[in-house]
């Protein structure tokens, strides 16, 4: 394999997010910095009406918005959200495949933890209610977890590496790590990467609820349901959404005059090898992922200004992650926050959305807070960003994603290496 060289820095030149806070990475970041929650009770007529008291529901997106009419049959919501986010990310990067870059030098890695579960559930109901002939021949391309990546490649004529990584809640972060690896080793000049999930269907919701993984008792105040690191936390809030980043070889971005938000400097991945649904209590696997990211980037713990925590608000997970942060950083905790307190847990989409948040934190010099952190659990005592965004110079950040199966990924983002940087926007300056 070709050895990495200095001109192969992976710089983020485009961002697209689709979350319960709305569409658009910049607006989402502003909402996070102002402590705005996207969580609510599912409205009347929603698939989860009467099933959950709180959920993270993203905006509507129709097939005709992202696909030609002939291609819009039985496309799952996770794919539609991923395509909308990819459209926005490529537009943000100002990049046209075939004009600005050879299609064979562009890759796409857009992952999902489960793919089109809602489409599968609807087709299973159709078979039971109306018989075998009711099952659509479009079911498989509608539900497969690689279809977001495939349809993005088809739409934009991307001819290089194309894949999807199904590592549950670490899937989006894994995609970004693999994208940075492709650029570092010279296998691509541009990678469209990220993750998407659309789990807001009754079967998925009930499975999580019966596993006692979801927040409960907050029906009268759904915005208060997601409480990472708080003493009263009792589970995560199920949410949907997508995040897509355009990663580009820095020299390639400079050649076309593109500005960067941040570089993906490093990544680390480990496996707990412990239990299917709970983390190692000592946080050893999570700590190993963070140390791996530092090693790949050639940085020390003291270089890190901020950790965007996995922070789902589960009793065991938040304590294990706190132990991991302490193991890596000792008594000097960097600033820590969990944006899932406002977005909910997007499962396979979370890592990509949070990587986008971290890129903006570096570009703007602002750290979003953890919402609902009214009383810090003594077992989670870190340097939490609370109440409002913290304004400071941000040179290097970690973004953590941990998943069922014991998959741990940590991404390390730092100052963009392109000649042109993204201008700090007003909300970031005022945060």
The full length of the chain comes to 431
How far CA 347 is from CA of 7, 163, 166, 286, 307, in Å, comes to 34, 18, 11, 17, 19
User: Is position 380 annotated as part of the catalytic site?
Assistant: no
Pairing assessment for the beta strands 335-337 and 306-308 based on DSSP bridges:
parallel
**Rg of the chain's alpha carbons, rounded to an integer?**
20
Q: Are 375 and 231 in contact (CB under 8 A)?
A: yes
Q: Are 87 and 16 in contact (CB under 8 A)?
A: yes
- Catalytic-role residue among 174, 252, 310, 371: 310
Q: Are 406 and 424 in contact (CB under 8 A)?
A: no
- Say what angle helices 77-93 and 147-156 make with each other, to 10 degrees: 40
Can you list the positions of beta strands (E) in 20-147? 22-23, 39-40, 55-56, 106-111
User: Is position 46 annotated as part of the catalytic site?
Assistant: no
- Catalytic-role residue among 345, 371, 384, 407: 345
* Distance from C-alpha of 285 to C-alpha of 271, rounded to nearest angstrom: 6
User: Is position 104 annotated as part of the catalytic site?
Assistant: no
What amino acid positions are annotated as catalytic residues?
Answer: 169, 310, 345
């Amino acid at each position: 394999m070709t050895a990495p060289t200095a001109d192969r820095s992976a710089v983020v030149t485009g961002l697209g997010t689709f979350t319960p806070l709305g569409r658009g990475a910049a607006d989402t970041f502003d909402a996070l910095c102002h402590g705005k929650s996207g969580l609510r009770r599912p409205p009347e007529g929603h698939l989860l009406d009467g099933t959950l008291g709180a959920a993270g529901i993203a905006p509507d997106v129709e097939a005709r918005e992202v696909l030609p009419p002939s291609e819009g049959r039985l496309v799952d919501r996770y794919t539609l959200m991923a395509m909308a986010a990819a459209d926005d990310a490529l537009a943000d990067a100002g990049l046209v495949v075939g004009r600005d870059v050879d299609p064979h030098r562009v890759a796409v890695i857009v992952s999902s933890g489960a793919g089109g579960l809602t489409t599968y559930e609807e087709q299973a109901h159709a078979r039971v209610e109306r018989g075998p002939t009711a099952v659509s021949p479009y079911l498989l391309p509608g539900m497969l977890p690689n279809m977001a990546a495939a349809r993005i490649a088809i739409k934009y004529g991307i001819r290089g590496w194309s894949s999807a990584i199904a590592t549950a809640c670490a899937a989006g972060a894994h995609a970004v790590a693999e994208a940075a690896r492709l650029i570092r080793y010279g296998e691509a000049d541009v990678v469209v990467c990220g993750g998407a999930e659309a789990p807001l269907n009754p079967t998925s919701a009930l499975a999580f609820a019966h596993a006692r993984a979801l927040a409960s008792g907050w029906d009268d105040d759904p915005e208060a349901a997601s409480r990472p690191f708080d003493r009263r936390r009792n589970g995560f809030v199920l949410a949907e959404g997508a995040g897509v980043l355009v990663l580009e070889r820095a020299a390639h971005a400079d050649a076309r005059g593109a500005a960067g938000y941040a570089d993906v400097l490093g990544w680390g991945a480990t496996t707990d090898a412990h239990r299917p649904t709970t983390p190692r209590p000592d946080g050893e696997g999570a700590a190993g992922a963070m140390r791996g990211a530092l090693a790949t980037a050639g940085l020390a713990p003291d270089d890190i200004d901020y950790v965007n925590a996995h922070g789902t608000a589960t009793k065991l997970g938040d304590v294990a992650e706190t132990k991991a942060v302490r193991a890596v950083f000792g008594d000097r905790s960097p600033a820590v926050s969990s944006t899932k307190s406002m977005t909910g847990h997007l499962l396979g989409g979370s890592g990509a959305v949070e990587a986008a948040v971290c890129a903006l934190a570096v570009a703007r010099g602002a750290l979003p807070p953890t919402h609902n952190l009214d009383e810090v659990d003594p077992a989670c005592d870190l340097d939490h960003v609370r109440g409002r965004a913290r304004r400071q110079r941000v040179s290097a950040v970690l973004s953590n994603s941990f998943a069922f199966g014991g998959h741990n990924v940590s991404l390390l983002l730092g100052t963009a290496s392109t000649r042109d940087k993204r201008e700090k926007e007003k909300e970031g300056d005022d945060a």
